[in-house]
Structure 1
């Protein structure tokens, strides 16, 4: 019963019960033991990472989506659906369909979410909505009129059970209870008792070691020659004054993925792949999502937006990437070259200006400011150039409105945003889906933390009828791209695309081929 507390919020007796966990559990083991859908927001940093990066990687959160107060917001083919378990109907209403814009429905759901204080000092997560918003939701902010291919544009779950790990050495289990729902509250209190017994890391020790036999090819959606021609087409648009920068992307079809006998303990080969990815490439915004037919394994180093409960906002775009080298002196030289690269600094500054403009749409006038410009950070496989923009929101602003005004992430569009998105869409000729969108949480405290979906393997499966039988892989894709400016060289841009695939494909025994 160590550190068992009630934290009362203003919403009709709804509150979070918290239990400190000792020892700190292995979240990979807990995820492997979980039945059903889950969202794991997984933070880490490589040895020697800069101090400025450490706050981004302090917290990891593992959530289960099947608690008694569960709800689901899903948007597909321009139609929102909201599924609500009976105990949560008093907050979110009955299950329904809604043809309003996705961000409008999300704003309503956030307004109805019980407002709860943050249970752990320094951590913004107080249960709430977790999942992803896909790139094609950018059509609601003036982007191309597309929808994702074969899966939802957005899938967020209201979760009432989570384990939070502070990587400075502590961990807690959180669960939601409400006076008006004694039976559901009793279920969550019972879960709180069982989660304190962490599965042994040995349960998944073999998942993070070893690679598939041989090396397979992840084949590009387009040829290298076609991608280089698209780079030159972007440069032509820039020459004509239609854009300053275009984020041009493609995708690679990744073989393998295995079969799941069912979704449950030790039967998810995509989670095993993710465990290998995280072992070789620590990043502050890793994530593994198992949501219906989707398996999303993300090794993103980039934050999109963080909104604190005190209404301060932070954006941290990345533009400028170099591959790490094995030789220490050569690696240091590559890092130094990136730090002074006029091209990369120009790319980064363009996106900083774009994000300043995006944040000005909802922030208090005069509050938007640049905290850090073109700093170079080092990760396991790459050096990257990062900037930080801050702002303050007026009271009463919905987090959904802030995200919509800045969506999709500017580092994945180019500038000016609407024109750059239209150019990229015409040249790419296909939706991006989860890739280039965001993953993270909208907390019941009002806090938000969202990553940019890059370095991410997206698998779509055909779930068996009735949940029985094998789960077959329908598609597995890895998106990659880069910013094209007037000074871009097509061959160099194609090389950068391949560089950005290595951290993910290396963990699944594949290499990118054009």
Structure 2
């Protein structure tokens, strides 16, 4: 059981930074920020959860069954992530690539302390045995000074796959498409830095400030950090309503308003971008149908253009109504990994991209999010994100693009660099 207290705050932007800064004392932290991005489906402006009372850490084997048992037994707030390699729990696939980050495949924790900000209202929820700490903690938060970035860190970022090698690999993907093995593949490559120490909070605050995405995440589990500026929702459950919003299609932003509008309109009408979006839309529709009331799967927005500070994106919204015979976790298990990060058909694509990619994706192209006490959930897609292991001093981010029969390898490479821009700016 939790004690809940409501506080009115004068400066929501300031309290966000104070919460994130105050949280650094804890071993387990998750800070989710919607950045006031205009969206139809949203529960809060930001949420902070800290200090695990219980937790679940596991590899991919039986991971979804373990998560189901954990979620159903706690019936409380749970925060954490699903890594891409949980695909091995869902299908008969595997990965032989190296993993330099060494994150657990799945990690969730039940926090002792939760802060939920919406407008000028801050709701504080503490587990009952520690609710006598609320007043002291809140006073400490209000007196916390927001960090000033005075640290200059030298981060030498390397590219795992060279431009020449990338172009060759995209041609191999297209060969598979022309042979009829697959229709579309999301092929990714890693950027990394070794023997590097960074200040994770400072890097997150900068990444968030230059991107302002609706699904930003600062996550810490001891030495593992996720600094995410994700614009993409994987899956949301609100009552019986399930919402998926895959992104497929990207174009550049311009300072000149005329150029910017042209870039946006070109994306909206680009046959290649629309084709890749619609293919993934069909995949998501089929995935959602597995746990949906018959006839309830609907495409409510098709190929709509949304603008973010770094890029324009083409997003489709698909909804369904959850059939009551299925558990909360069944929806995640039957749709994971998300089609926007694999391609179609899923199993064939996952095998092919694992052969061509040179590192395990790990948390990248997985999902970070939460479960509410009543069994609702919301998860992002881990893209535009920096991953960091402070023990091994390894920094990593990955980018990718959808390869179809219409893809021009050089343009796909340029799209990857466009997506990498914000992370490179933050690290360099």
Match of 2:227 in 1: 297
1:130 maps to 2:69: no
Residue from 182, 193, 199 that aligns with 1:243:
182
1:492 maps to 2:411: yes
Residue from 46, 52, 55 that aligns with 1:72:
55
What secondary structure is seen at the aligned counterpart in 2 of 1:431? coil
Mark the CA change 1:252 to 1:135 in structure 2 (over 3 Å): closer, same or farther.
same
Work out whether residues 44 and 116 of structure 2, in 8 Å CA contact, stay in contact via their aligned partners in 1: no
Work out whether residues 343 and 487 of structure 1, in 8 Å CA contact, stay in contact via their aligned partners in 2: yes
Work out whether residues 73 and 155 of structure 1, in 8 Å CA contact, stay in contact via their aligned partners in 2: yes
1:280 maps to 2:280: no
What secondary structure is seen at the aligned counterpart in 2 of 1:197? helix
Work out whether residues 319 and 483 of structure 1, in 8 Å CA contact, stay in contact via their aligned partners in 2: yes
Within 2, Cα distance between the matches of 1:229 and 1:425?
15
Work out whether residues 44 and 58 of structure 1, in 8 Å CA contact, stay in contact via their aligned partners in 2: no
Work out whether residues 248 and 402 of structure 2, in 8 Å CA contact, stay in contact via their aligned partners in 1: yes
* TM-score, normalization by structure 2: 0.93
Mark the CA change 1:57 to 1:318 in structure 2 (over 3 Å): closer, same or farther.
farther
Q: Please state how far the C-alpha of 1:193 moved relative to its aligned partner.
A: 1.7
Work out whether residues 196 and 393 of structure 2, in 8 Å CA contact, stay in contact via their aligned partners in 1: no
1:396-454: per-residue Cα shift (whole Å, max 9, x none)? 52221110110011100001111111111111142101100000002211111000000
1:50-82: per-residue Cα shift (whole Å, max 9, x none)? x5x26448431100124xxx1111113x5xxxx
Q: Please state how far the C-alpha of 1:144 moved relative to its aligned partner.
A: 2.8
Mark the CA change 1:173 to 1:57 in structure 2 (over 3 Å): closer, same or farther.
closer
1:220 maps to 2:134: no
Mark the CA change 1:347 to 1:106 in structure 2 (over 3 Å): closer, same or farther.
same
Q: Please state how far the C-alpha of 1:501 moved relative to its aligned partner.
A: 0.8
Within 1, Cα distance between the matches of 2:362 and 2:184?
21
Q: Please state how far the C-alpha of 1:206 moved relative to its aligned partner.
A: 0.9
Within 2, Cα distance between the matches of 1:403 and 1:455?
22
What secondary structure is seen at the aligned counterpart in 2 of 1:193? helix
Match of 2:107 in 1: 155
Within 1, Cα distance between the matches of 2:17 and 2:219?
12
Residue from 396, 407, 411 that aligns with 1:477:
396
Work out whether residues 143 and 421 of structure 1, in 8 Å CA contact, stay in contact via their aligned partners in 2: no
Residue from 116, 124, 127 that aligns with 1:164:
116
CA RMSD in angstroms, aligned pairs only:
2.1
1:99-153: per-residue Cα shift (whole Å, max 9, x none)? x500011111112123xxxxxxxxxxxx511011100001122163138552211
Q: Please state how far the C-alpha of 1:154 moved relative to its aligned partner.
A: 1.0
Q: Please state how far the C-alpha of 1:326 moved relative to its aligned partner.
A: 1.9
1:167-192: per-residue Cα shift (whole Å, max 9, x none)? x3322111233xxxxxxx2xx21122
Matches within 5 A, 1:92-241: 101-114=62-75, 128-142=77-91, 144-146=93-95, 149=100, 150-166=102-118, 168-177=119-128, 185=129, 188-197=130-139, 199=141, 203-207=145-149, 212=152, 217-241=156-180
Work out whether residues 57 and 283 of structure 1, in 8 Å CA contact, stay in contact via their aligned partners in 2: no
Mark the CA change 1:371 to 1:110 in structure 2 (over 3 Å): closer, same or farther.
same
Work out whether residues 196 and 394 of structure 2, in 8 Å CA contact, stay in contact via their aligned partners in 1: no
Mark the CA change 1:200 to 1:189 in structure 2 (over 3 Å): closer, same or farther.
closer
Match of 1:124 in 2: none
What secondary structure is seen at the aligned counterpart in 1 of 2:145? helix
Within 2, Cα distance between the matches of 1:157 and 1:251?
28
Q: Please state how far the C-alpha of 1:354 moved relative to its aligned partner.
A: 0.5
Within 2, Cα distance between the matches of 1:201 and 1:224?
49
Within 2, Cα distance between the matches of 1:475 and 1:338?
36
Gap regions ≥5 residues in structure 2? none
Within 1, Cα distance between the matches of 2:91 and 2:156?
36
Q: Please state how far the C-alpha of 1:202 moved relative to its aligned partner.
A: 7.0
1:340 maps to 2:269: yes
Work out whether residues 162 and 174 of structure 1, in 8 Å CA contact, stay in contact via their aligned partners in 2: yes
Mark the CA change 1:370 to 1:393 in structure 2 (over 3 Å): closer, same or farther.
same
1:31 maps to 2:1: no
Q: Which has the larger radius of gyration?
A: 1
Q: Please state how far the C-alpha of 1:303 moved relative to its aligned partner.
A: 0.3
Work out whether residues 143 and 422 of structure 1, in 8 Å CA contact, stay in contact via their aligned partners in 2: no
What secondary structure is seen at the aligned counterpart in 2 of 1:325? coil
Within 2, Cα distance between the matches of 1:143 and 1:250?
23
Q: Please state how far the C-alpha of 1:204 moved relative to its aligned partner.
A: 2.7
Q: Please state how far the C-alpha of 1:213 moved relative to its aligned partner.
A: 6.9
Mark the CA change 1:347 to 1:16 in structure 2 (over 3 Å): closer, same or farther.
farther
